[in-house]
Structure 1
């Protein structure tokens, strides 16, 4: 491990350079990272990396899922809850069945149980890849929201399928009653443990005399605690992290100070940047080990690649069919549910169906397959499953990942009126914040308004909605206390508007909450 340490440092530097190149040429960085990893793996003398699936499941997944849970909009998650849940659970299950049937029919020696195992591995799309592409393209807000919400849940559902499929392969039987009870326990137990652990960490943040550094450390400990505790109780660790992360995200303004939120956001962005880069680079670097293992099964490389492309086609076609199936269901539901979209169109669903790139969760799931069965015999077709998974990841990243920007641009998709125009919303928020600030000052501190130059300047700022100018003298402590109360009023107003105003994008609300935290931080140095 230590002798390869310089190599790992070089890999991180290469990741930074590749992502810089991806941003420059407007290509999704996961595509370039996987290709770069492939090319590096063929360089003579390069250390052969053996990826431990537990390393990915325990080290990588909890923080990545936790950060995603903090970043997602609660409002968007609730608005698109039906299609998100259908894609995260129903579509993943149907995809696994489709892969099982095709694999059983066309791959020699593949039983339905093995096919279902393969389906559970390759069924969850990777939202990191889609998100990296969508940032270059001005796509519909609802598309990115659905993808983000789906990604939080589909990993859990696919890994639950994987667990049951492994039991079926190992024992040769599948008891539906036990599977149903275990499924309920994994979902309910995982969610409950995540919420309970989140509540404990919320209390720790709130009642312990923590500072900014301690708060940040606690945010890193939380996802690992949620994951490990849930797995110890044989529940879904991923659902635990997601539910706990969503819980803490919702109450972030109740137990974290503005300084802690600002610092944690910067630290987490850097950590997630490195983790995402590493996992996609590792996919490419792991190819030699996968190919060498495949040779032991006596299956030709071209034949195995053909199987991988066949499964890729099933996944792409199946997701597109599912997207249009969701449209038909929505149209039918619109006659009974008033919030359902009566005219979802055909272009948006096609784009959603094309965003099915697979990623690191699929590779980690494949690597987690044991080498042998309980009786000591080799696990059937393990190496072939590994190779097919790799082909699926690479093919979806190249085929869908490289063409998605073109498809989004080519299809003049409908401009959905989910929210007010951004400029109009920002004007509304600025006026609302200025109004509540002036109302508070005039109601509680009107006598100081004429005496304090600082309050005069702040009131002028709110009236004209301009940024603060640099102060020539320090702001008095009593004025700081008043201004802190005003900022707290502004924060409460924004949180209230986010709850009640469905036509305001939560991203803009978070933007202004961020401004308030910055203003609170700046005040410390005045």
Structure 2
């Protein structure tokens, strides 16, 4: 323990420094982390980082999925649910099937069950990598929502395929009827358990005398409880976390106060950043051990690399084909919701870019590492080769697609022809509406009652400069209560205008965060 602790602390420090460097270079930090982990792994004398396969999912996945559910726009998910669900389920299955067929045909000793196993592992694109890469380029809100929603749900569908394939490899048989029943239970049971537990947690937050520290601790425990309960009844723990997280995130204003929301956002951002960094680092650090496993099985390194490149090519091609199939189906059956572009070239280049966003990462690595070492008293077949192929897929998609995606978007100017309201204009429109709504509320309710009060007069005339009135002479307990009531009125106004499909959920969240900050400032006076 004393020998591994300094290494872990040094690894976290390296993660932070590499993230700073990545921001300076304007590239996605997962790319640097994987590369750094790979280079560091060749340093002699480093301790071997090993994680129990039975714990890899439980340690990393629940908080990462829970945080992603809190960050995504639920309104945008509902708007684009057809294409999101098609990419999250149909495209994942098509990708896994393509990988299964190709690996079964080209890799000696690879059965269809093993093919579906590796297909389930590498089929889901990684949300962290995609988000880290696309933040350096401007993409339409709709495209961003589709990518985020897909990455949130495709983890569940791919891991369901992975679980069925794992059973088929272990038992040597696959019963379709039983698999169909199990699939329905995993989907329906996982979603139901997640929503039921989320309702219970929301009620607990409301009724218990919690404060910010206890709310944050509860929020860290909740995704693990979602996952553990669902897995105990052989349902989908991933779907339970996702559905529970979406339910709680959509109701955060009703059961968390401003202090809990502000502090919780900071804690979760740091917590998830460290978890992601550790996983991407492990990807690189694990390579030497995986390579030694290949040598023990007499698999040439060059051959294994070729298999990894083959699977990566299949993944990219399957995703691009699926993206074009989705566009064609949309143009035929629902042309009114097809991507709008003034230039026909841009419309048909969009699926190509969408297909090029399939970087792999955390979930693929977690699934690969969770493969048991032994099955039925014997070594799991092709485990080291599966791990190596997964590593090659993650490395190639991050380096090749990750480094070229921003360039392709900028070079092709593919999104320039898509009409969209600039974000600054949207923020200004919401701010002006908020100011007018607040002025009318104050004028109608408090103008006569506080006519001679200097602080209230100033707030009525220029409420958006109310920080100038924040001193002991102008703020007393009565006016502070009015300020707090005012902030609550603003929240209700923002939540109301957020029902408009044209209003950006991200902009509304930005203003809600500013209101939370203002409330915290007032409470300290």
TM-score range for the pair, normalised by the shorter chain length: over 0.9
Please say if 1:289 is aligned against 2:308: no
Please say if 1:468 is aligned against 2:467: yes
Please say if 1:201 is aligned against 2:191: no
Q: 1:371 aligns with which of 335, 356, 373?
A: 373
Q: TM-score, normalised on structure 1?
A: 0.96
Q: TM-score, normalised on structure 2?
A: 0.96
Encode CA deviations 1:360-393: one digit per residue, 9 max, x unaligned.
211221122222222x222221111111111111
Instruction: Find the residue that maps to 2:374 and give its secondary structure.
Output: coil
2:459/2:466 contact within 8 Å kept:
no
Q: Which runs of 5+ in 1 are unaligned?
A: none
The aligned residue for residue 42 of structure 1 is 42
Structure-2 change in CA distance of 1:11 and 1:79 (3 Å): same
Encode CA deviations 1:77-105: one digit per residue, 9 max, x unaligned.
11111111111110000001000110011
- 1:490-501 to 2 correspondence within 5 Å? 490-499=490-499, 501=500
1:419/1:505 contact within 8 Å kept:
no
Encode CA deviations 1:58-116: one digit per residue, 9 max, x unaligned.
12111111111001011111111111111111000000100011001110111111111
Q: 1:357 aligns with which of 356, 359, 368?
A: 359
Question: 1: CA distance between counterparts of 2:96 and 2:187?
Answer: 18
1:37/1:285 contact within 8 Å kept:
yes
Question: 2: CA distance between counterparts of 1:135 and 1:75?
Answer: 21
Please say if 1:441 is aligned against 2:439: no
- 1:174-185 to 2 correspondence within 5 Å? 174-185=174-185
The aligned residue for residue 11 of structure 1 is 11
Tell me the number of residue pairs that the alignment of Structure 1 and Structure 2 aligns.
520
The aligned residue for residue 107 of structure 1 is 107
- 1:369-518 to 2 correspondence within 5 Å? 369-374=371-376, 376-415=377-416, 420-462=421-463, 465-466=464-465, 468-469=467-468, 471-473=470-472, 475-499=475-499, 501-518=500-517
More deviation in 44-53 or 249-258? 44-53
2:331/2:338 contact within 8 Å kept:
yes
Instruction: Find the residue that maps to 2:3 and give its secondary structure.
Output: helix
2:66/2:223 contact within 8 Å kept:
yes
Question: 2: CA distance between counterparts of 1:395 and 1:152?
Answer: 22
Question: 2: CA distance between counterparts of 1:416 and 1:184?
Answer: 42
Question: 2: CA distance between counterparts of 1:418 and 1:223?
Answer: 38
The aligned residue for residue 521 of structure 2 is 522
Q: Which runs of 5+ in 2 are unaligned?
A: none
More deviation in 156-165 or 50-59? 50-59
The aligned residue for residue 20 of structure 2 is 20
Question: What is the Cα deviation at residue 147 of structure 1?
Answer: 1.4
The aligned residue for residue 301 of structure 1 is 301
1:334/1:341 contact within 8 Å kept:
no
Question: What is the Cα deviation at residue 473 of structure 1?
Answer: 1.7
Question: 1: CA distance between counterparts of 2:297 and 2:175?
Answer: 30
1:419/1:503 contact within 8 Å kept:
no
Encode CA deviations 1:425-472: one digit per residue, 9 max, x unaligned.
22322222222222222332222342221211212224xx44622633
Question: What is the Cα deviation at residue 317 of structure 1?
Answer: 0.9
Question: What is the Cα deviation at residue 419 of structure 1?
Answer: 5.1
Question: 2: CA distance between counterparts of 1:468 and 1:347?
Answer: 49
- 1:60-99 to 2 correspondence within 5 Å? 60-99=60-99
The aligned residue for residue 217 of structure 1 is 217
Question: 2: CA distance between counterparts of 1:207 and 1:385?
Answer: 49
Instruction: Find the residue that maps to 1:437 and give its secondary structure.
Output: helix
Question: 1: CA distance between counterparts of 2:157 and 2:466?
Answer: 47
Question: 2: CA distance between counterparts of 1:455 and 1:279?
Answer: 53
Instruction: Find the residue that maps to 1:68 and give its secondary structure.
Output: helix
Question: 2: CA distance between counterparts of 1:307 and 1:7?
Answer: 33
Question: 1: CA distance between counterparts of 2:507 and 2:183?
Answer: 38
Question: What is the Cα deviation at residue 329 of structure 1?
Answer: 1.0
Question: 2: CA distance between counterparts of 1:30 and 1:389?
Answer: 16
Question: What is the Cα deviation at residue 417 of structure 1?
Answer: 5.7
Question: 2: CA distance between counterparts of 1:468 and 1:418?
Answer: 38
Encode CA deviations 1:142-185: one digit per residue, 9 max, x unaligned.
22211111111111111100111112122222111111110110
Question: What is the Cα deviation at residue 340 of structure 1?
Answer: 4.3
Question: 2: CA distance between counterparts of 1:284 and 1:204?
Answer: 41
Structure-2 change in CA distance of 1:467 and 1:106 (3 Å): farther
Question: What is the Cα deviation at residue 342 of structure 1?
Answer: 6.5
2:91/2:322 contact within 8 Å kept:
yes
Encode CA deviations 1:469-494: one digit per residue, 9 max, x unaligned.
26332511111112211111110111
RMSD: 1.6
Question: 1: CA distance between counterparts of 2:21 and 2:408?
Answer: 22
- 1:245-256 to 2 correspondence within 5 Å? 245-256=245-256
More deviation in 167-176 or 416-425? 416-425
1:89/1:157 contact within 8 Å kept:
yes
More deviation in 506-515 or 376-385? 376-385
Question: What is the Cα deviation at residue 347 of structure 1?
Answer: 2.2
1:23/1:29 contact within 8 Å kept:
yes
Question: What is the Cα deviation at residue 264 of structure 1?
Answer: 0.5
Question: 2: CA distance between counterparts of 1:289 and 1:185?
Answer: 37
